Amino acid sequence: MINITINNNPFQVEDGSTILDAAKKAGVHIPTLCHLDMHDFKMVNRVGTCRVCMVEVEGRRNLIPACSTVVAEGMVIRTNTIRAIKARRTIVELLLSNHPKDCLICERNQNCELQSLAAELGIREVKYQGYQSHHKKDTSSYSLIRNAEKCILCRRCETMCNEVQTVGVYSAVNRGFETVIGTAFDLPMIETACTFCGQCVSVCPTGALTLVDNTAEVWAAIYDPEKYVIVQTAPAIRAALGEVFQMPVGSRVTGKMTAALRRLGFDLVCDTDFAADLTIMEEANELLDRLKNNGTLPILTSCCPAWVKFIEHQFPDLLDIPSTCKSPHEMFGAIAKTHYAQKLGIDPEKIVVVSVMPCLAKKYEAARPELAYGKNSAYVDYVISTRELGSMIREAGITFADLPDEDFDSIMGESTGASVIFGTTGGVIEAALRTAVYWLTGEKLDKIDFEELRGMQGIRSATIDVQGTPVRIGIAHGLGNARALLEAVRGGEKYHAIEIMACPGGCVGGGGQPYHGNNIEIIKQRADALYQEDKDKSIRRSHENTEIQRLYEEFLETPGSHKAHELLHTTYTKREKI
């Protein structure tokens, strides 16, 4: 511990702390913009580019950035001098002078850190007028939009992409006023190794990175009398949607969400959890097949499209080990437009499947040619995020908090507790084990909560004893952790099964969820909500889902059947690393 003074008050702080760290512990507020602290995911953005956190230190002529300056014994710091306050205001005024003035129609309106900072500093006019930088908007991808004109060069996206996700798409190019955060050779995003995880969107403080909004297309489908619109909602949505309407973090809003979807006008309101149970039937069967027949191990889960695209770019030599199972929402679309279209007596061409997902990569995934049927048809037509659904509910004038709880429709609406925990890191592999262990032993074990698979540690492993047979499980969340785990596999480390999710915390921390300010506690509370919903379910093993059992009896025959492979499994493609 070392002794410092902040605003005339003495404090003791840990050696190695920055001035900003020390101020936070002392309860002193210093405004920041480029700073980003995600210690739980081994990321701190301390580039100090915005200079908003400037403070005075006794004995130093110039103001210094609090976020990147380490404290020293006896340091005397002043955060609220008129010189520091004027410097911050001037810096933000300069940022605003080169920023578009379309706040009213910007996606980040009322949720923009630059906008909030301007209000905090009392800025009511843009004093500086001059040349503004102009860049072409990149709308090439299905998932996210890059608008460099709104970029403030905080480099959060670069740090997230390069250090946390290790994808390496973003980099600062050019110098001086021409500096921009761009891609290699200025390639459009769709032509890069971007996984479309959306974590860059999550950390961007302005509207420079936003999602592709599909709500207009969904509204058009709902109001088209020729269309029968089916909506499905991913597990993680129910643990986060309430935040859009100022409900406490971790609120479970499953029933209200279902009621809201009916009031929006969807013809059939279904649960992706149903398809998560279906995924477990196929994935657990695939795991057992590999174990019994000396197949390739480890098996890797394949529910996360960002992770799938990551391995296609970064580890093409390992493409024989992921499960061939489609992700749950794609399985849902395949069954909806085949078996249930026939049961409902509706032409599949008139069915529109809308997925509500916590993930921006699902938008890209729905357009993958491997997942299409026919020449121009997709099993999932549109993907909207949690934020987009919240926007539709507000637009329709629905008072979400006052809605009564309603159940999903009986068709593709039944689910188990195993499917609910798909939304958090460790949940998919735990759900798979609940069924795989039963199929392997023939015994209905009392223990179905595999606590050793849970938690927020970036890379975890556990050995599960199955009647004397050790089954080694690996888990990683965040693509940087996935890279480390896969490199260990390349090096000979042995696992039977590995679960990987691209986003920190899993789907609960997805790029389409309500902005969480990189607060690990918010992600944990969302995960806890899913585990609680799992406990409250009367059926907690996927193979006990009676609707899933009926689906196999009437249509799919058995897990791993020819028809199941035709509709529920996919292939992967080697891709360039750029």
Q: How far is CA 73 from the centre of its chain?
A: 41
> What pLDDT is stored for residue 377 in this prediction?
87
**Does residue 577 lie within any of the structural domains?**
no
> CATH number, domain at 158?
3.30.70.20
Least confident of 16-30, 168-182, 442-456: 442-456
Q: Is the pLDDT of residue 364 over 70?
A: yes
**Does residue 114 lie within any of the structural domains?**
no
pLDDT digits (tens, 9 = 90+) for 192-229: 999 999 999 999 999 999 999 999 999 999 999 999 99
Residues 475 and 500 in one domain: yes
> CATH number, domain at 57?
3.10.20.740
Give the residue from 212, 244, 262 where a domain finishes.
Answer: 212
What is the layout of strands, in order, in the sheet containing 268-271? 268-271, 228-233, 351-357, 382-385
pLDDT grade for 131, boundaries at 50, 70 and 90: confident
Residues 173 and 61 in one domain: no
**Does residue 84 lie within any of the structural domains?**
yes
Question: What is the per-residue DSSP string for 93-109?
Answer: HHHHHTS---GGG-TTT
Q: Identify the burial level of 287 via C-beta atoms within 10 angstroms of its C-beta, where 0-12 means exposed, 13-18 middle and 19 or more buried.
A: buried
**Does residue 100 lie within any of the structural domains?**
no
Residues 502 and 413 in one domain: yes
Q: Is the pLDDT of residue 27 over 70?
A: yes
Give the residue from 158, 184, 212 where a domain finishes.
Answer: 212
Given a contact cutoff of 8 angstroms between Cβ atoms, the answer to whether 534 and 541 are in contact is: no
Residues 222 and 204 in one domain: no
Torsion, Cα of 121, 123, 129, 130 (10° steps): 30
Residues 265 and 196 in one domain: no
Residues 411 and 489 in one domain: yes
Give the range of the structural domain holding residue 480, as residue numbers without chain letter.
Answer: 215-568
Residues 225 and 296 in one domain: yes
Q: Which of 534, 533, 516, 391 is nearest to 450 (CA)?
A: 534
Given a contact cutoff of 8 angstroms between Cβ atoms, the answer to whether 77 and 55 are in contact is: yes
Residues 77 and 14 in one domain: yes
> CATH number, domain at 543?
3.40.50.1780
**Does residue 122 lie within any of the structural domains?**
no
Q: Is the pLDDT of residue 408 over 80?
A: yes
Instruction: Give the pairing of strands 382-385 and 351-357.
Output: parallel
pLDDT digits (tens, 9 = 90+) for 317-345: 999 999 999 999 999 999 999 999 999 99
β-strand partners of 383: 355
CB burial readout 163-173, b (16+ within 10 A) else e: bbbbbbbbeee
**Does residue 439 lie within any of the structural domains?**
yes
- At 437, the amino acid letter reads V
Residues 206 and 315 in one domain: no
Ramachandran sector of residue 153 (left: φ over 0; alpha: ψ -120 to 50; beta: rest):
left
Give the residue from 64, 95, 126 where a domain finishes.
Answer: 95
Q: What is the Rg, in whole angstroms, of the alpha carbon atoms belonging to the chain?
A: 25
Query: Residues 6 or more apart from 464 whose CB is under 8 A from it?
Result: 433, 437, 450, 452, 470, 471, 472, 473
**Does residue 134 lie within any of the structural domains?**
no
Residues 263 and 199 in one domain: no
Residues 163 and 243 in one domain: no
- What are the φ and ψ backbone dihedral angles of 473, each rounded to 5 degrees? -115, 140
Structural domains in the chain (count) = 3
Q: Is the pLDDT of residue 411 over 80?
A: yes
Residues 187 and 261 in one domain: no
pTM score: 0.95
**Does residue 101 lie within any of the structural domains?**
no
> What residues are annotated to the active site?
283, 286, 303, 323, 362, 365, 370, 507
Given a contact cutoff of 8 angstroms between Cβ atoms, the answer to whether 422 and 328 are in contact is: yes
